[in-house]
Structure 1
Amino acid sequence: MQVKTIFILALFAALVAGCKAPQSGYEVTNKLEDPLQDKAVVLTYDEVNQYLPGDIGSDYIVVVDADGNNLPSQCDDLNNDGQWDELAFLVDLAGGENKTVYFDAVPKSEVPDYTKRTNIRFGYKDEPYVEVTDEARLKSTDSPTISEVFQMEGPAWENDKVGFRNYYDARNGIDIYGKRTTEMVLDSAGIRGQNYHELDDWGMDILKVGNSLGAGAIGIRIGDEVSRVGKSEKGTYEFITEGPVRAMFELKYVGVPVGARTYDITHRISICAGDLFYRSKVSVDGLQGDEQLVTGIVNMHQKESFRMEEGDYRILASHGSQAYQGEKLGMAVLVPRNSFVETWKAPDEGEGIVETHMVAIDLEVNTPAKYCFLSGWEYQDEGFKTEDYFREQVVHAAHMLSNKF
């Protein structure tokens, strides 16, 4: 809930010396008994503008608490028009705590230098290892072919807990990088002699994907038939943002064949600092009303899954010795209750998507379907050796996602 609390300007100026004092504070509330650390809060430009004495204009926003401490934040231009659209900031909240934060509009040059805790890397395999900007998705399904073109075979994203990558070809799978460091490491993965298939100081690629959906790749279901979103007339990648709070990019697919139909699909992927999961928003143009989005978890080495319900989310999960070297790995797909349809298991062999714990999600016109994919690796945190600990972390993730302000 948003609550405007009016303060006397002179009093607040004493609390936040050196900042232009806003007229009102924005209140965030933890409705849970458990504490929330690094809770990501996202507000639009117009929402932020309500809490400032004048129009923001082209300024950026600094977020401070009542004691004058800066909170990590970033202003993101989501449509590349030169004007930021959303403010994202991180806040820590004790159980049941209400906290008021304040916004100050400043020139971009005066924004503090916060620690970068999210990162996107999509680069070429060969020197000078520059970032990829306008390459179309390859139509091949051959790993050796794509691995000679792109570093990590496609775009990769990470925060201070975990990393992921997308195969930028017709396979369109998603893989996991287990991390043993809070540093951003994927810029150098797989180049200059580094082999991410072998355990390094920072971690490694920990998932075997095969012809499954891996770690949350997507398909479209019509009736009983599921088609992988991979082949398309054209596929593209667009970088949106990265910084101290979150990173975001889009994968677009034009002319995706599903039976006798074709669709245009946009998959927006983001990851926030401190989370064990990434977030997906999938928009499909050309819907006729009988389609569902499908995602899932590879079950190549863990044939059993389990279901959970927590907060606003229904959850499909697995835990077992399913990481690359046989170590314990837990994975989960969290789907909003109001769009969750059902779960089932794909065949272990055959054509199409195999070896996957599947989940179907409702698709609506002009409304993106949403889900999150979570990973917990025992070399990252020994607690993940046990299913009980993994379940606790999944519950905490659902609380973080359900806790609305």
Structure 2
Amino acid sequence: MMTALKWATAGMALAVAGPAFAQDAWYVQGDFAPAARIEIVIANDLAEDRKDAPIVIRRDQLPMLADIQELTVTLVDPSGETRPEPSAALLSRQGPHERRGEQNGRSLDYQFDDLDRDGIWDELFFVADLKAGEKKRFYLYRGFQQRGWNPHRTHAAIGSYMRHTVPFWESEHVGWKLWFPTDIDIYGKRKAMLMSNRLYMGNLDGYGVAAENPDYGADIQSVDDSFGGGGIGVFEGDRLNRPRFTPTADLEHRFNAGQQTDTRYSFETLVNGPLRSMVRIRTMNWNTGQGRYEVQQTYTAYAGQNYTTAEVKFTRWEPGAEGADFAVGVRKRPGQNFERHGDNWVVTTAPEALRNPDDVEGLQQQEPILYAGTALIVPADDAPDYRFVEARGENHVFRVPARADHTYRYMLAAGWSEGEVLKTPEAFADYVAASARSYASPPRLDEVREETKP
């Protein structure tokens, strides 16, 4: 099964059942005083702190929770700040599902995500702050309880947006959408918030959305016929081919032709918050003139992060005589005045006057900003080879050698000077470099142990 991101790794200690041992006092919330818990230890192998680090634990790593109902688990950080007893006013507003006063730790939001749609959870997901080199304990307490409202920090949905179907996924700081089916638009927020529901439900223009609420921000990526904020293709020999530019495509309008005679797409919301959200895109009937392909992409947004990740799997791989390799790229920012490279990542930023490229009549006022930036990271283990592709809008592209399982993955990031974080190109580039290191060395599950009260 392909997962959205391989953040948790193997190599943990085997789970063992046994009596309680005196490490942390047992968690209590109101009248909830559980008598069984599972200790999990998450290791940060990097010599640097991580904030809102995504943590994934697979179901096969927690066999004692293979058959659960979600409300029978409470995730607790024993070192976290306990919540006080809520006020009468808060209880009156939030009702009986509001968390009550805590002792011996702080309960955390989490997700049990069913990625293969069989009704059984596949991954436990949460986020946590980890110190450099830390091995941090958390507890999964057993026992049914219904308290714990969990406000969403990410969102994903499929909307009918300007008369065609568009996937949206976002974190508090950045949102992504596929106006074009395989090349990403980006929108930045001035305040940390979720707002894509306003974009697609109100069908608001991404460049003019600030008229409703300035905190919503604006679109910060011009795509046209480029890779935009991130897109895929294949190299066949030295020729770069992309799904929406085929021998039968409507090249003037940068879209494919008919759904039966040209490339077609389908979209699915796979997970919708609160801490990560995913969309899945299927690209079918792609004929480059040399080869035929079908491909599935899963994009994920993460709470607290300015990046999204993509897992790509070709379900049909029939290259022509020259063979084929994978391709992924981002557009070189028009007017680029700052660029930074690693062996497997690239950052491009530029000052911009935010303007709808379709606004040929000049109906919308241009809004100057100091910088907008985009970045692409490909795992070094995949041996990516950097190329600058001048055609179709100028693009930073990595050629990735094809693998036998026809899969690859990548990370995209975005920032701008109007946001609450990463307000300079230098700060954005530093964040991208740190994200590349985290991508290569995800937090890992180091130990699991079951405990019961004496």
TM-score (norm 1): 0.82
CA contact (8 A) 2:378 2:384 kept: no
On the 8 A contact 1:329/1:384 being kept in 2, the answer is no
In the alignment, what sits opposite 2:325? 292
Please say if residues 211 and 355 of structure 1, whose CA atoms lie closer than 8 Å, have aligned partners that are also in contact: no
What is aligned with 2:131? 94
Paired residues in the alignment total: 366
Deviation at 1:59, TM superposition (A): 4.2
% identical aligned pairs:
22
CA distance in 1, matches of 2:139, 2:431: 31
Question: Which of these residues, 117, 122, 145, is aligned with residue 80 of structure 1?
Answer: 117
Which residue does 1:134 correspond to in 2?
none
Matched, 1:342 2:357: no
Q: Which consecutive unaligned segments of at least 5 residues does structure 1 have?
A: 126-146
- Report the residue type matching 1:384 in the other structure: K
Tell me the amino acid that sits aligned with residue 405 of structure 2: N
TM-score, normalised relative to structure 2:
0.73
Larger radius of gyration: 2
CA distance in 1, matches of 2:335, 2:327: 19
Conservation of the 8 A alpha-carbon contact between 1:6 and 1:25: no
Whole-Å separation in 2 of the counterparts to 1:193 and 1:236: 20
Distance in 2 (CA, whole Å) between partners of 1:390 and 1:168 is: 26
Distance 1:97 1:316, change over 3 A: same
1:70-219 residue pairs with structure 2 within 5 A?
70-105=107-142, 110=146, 112-125=148-161, 147-150=162-165, 154-167=166-179, 169=181, 172-189=182-199, 192=202, 194-198=204-208, 199=210, 200-219=214-233
Q: Secondary structure at the match of 1:9?
A: coil
Q: Distance in 2 between matches of 1:218 and 1:238?
A: 18
Q: Which secondary structure state, in structure 2, belongs to the residue aligned with residue 247 of structure 1?
A: strand
Instruction: Report the alpha carbon displacement of residue 176 of structure 1 after superposing the two structures with TM.
Output: 0.4
Equivalent residue letter for 1:236:
S
Q: Provide the rounded CA distance (Å) in 2 between the counterparts of 1:40 and 1:209.
A: 29
CA distance in 2, matches of 1:69, 1:382: 26
Q: How does 1:342-361 map to 2 (within 5 A)?
A: 342-348=385-391, 353-361=392-400
Match of 2:345 in 1: 315
Query: 1:195 Cα deviation (Å)?
Result: 3.2
Map 1:246-325 onto structure 2 (within 5 A): 246-287=276-317, 290-302=323-335, 305-309=339-343, 314-322=344-352, 324=354, 325=367
| 8 Å CA contact retained: 1:220, 1:228 | yes
Superposition deviation, residue 63 in structure 1? 1.6
| Residue type at the aligned position of 1:87 | L
Q: Contact conserved, 1:7 with 1:23, CA < 8 A, in 2? A: no
Instruction: Quote the residue 2:274 is aligned against.
Output: 244
Distance in 1 separating the partners of 2:152 and 2:117? 21
Structure 2 alignment gaps of length 5 or more = 1-10, 79-103, 245-255, 257-261, 355-366, 445-454
Per-residue deviation, 1:317:
1.6
Give the partner amino acid of 2:152. Answer: K
- Are 1:12 and 1:21, in contact at CA under 8 Å, matched by a contact in 2? no
SS in structure 2 at match of 1:92? strand
Cα distance change of structure 1 residues 193 and 65 upon mapping to structure 2, 3 Å threshold: closer
Shift of 1:12: 7.3
Alpha-carbon distance in 1 for matches of 2:230, 2:106 = 37
Deviation at 1:285, TM superposition (A): 2.5
Matches within 5 A, 1:366-385: 366=405, 368-381=407-420, 383-385=422-424
Flag the 1:193–1:260 CA change in 2: closer, same or farther, 3 A.
closer
Q: How far off its partner does 1:223 sit?
A: 0.9
Greater RCO, 1 or 2 (C-alpha within 8 Å, sep 6+): 2
**Alpha-carbon distance, 1:214 to partner:** 0.3
- Tell me which residue corresponds to 1:63: 75
- Partners of 1:280 and 1:371 within 8 A in 2: yes
Question: 1:328-360, CA deviations, whole angstroms, 9 ceiling, x for partnerless residues?
Answer: 022111110011321222224xxxx44211112
Deviation at 1:257, TM superposition (A): 1.2
2:158–2:267: 8 Å Cα contact kept in structure 1?
no
CA contact (8 A) 1:119 1:243 kept: yes
1:398 alignment partner, one of 422, 432, 436: 436
Q: Is contact 1:302-1:318 (8 Å) kept?
A: no
CA distance in 2, matches of 1:398, 1:337: 9
CA contact (8 A) 2:70 2:112 kept: no
SS at match of 1:110: coil
Between 1:92-101 and 1:328-337, the stretch displaced more is 92-101
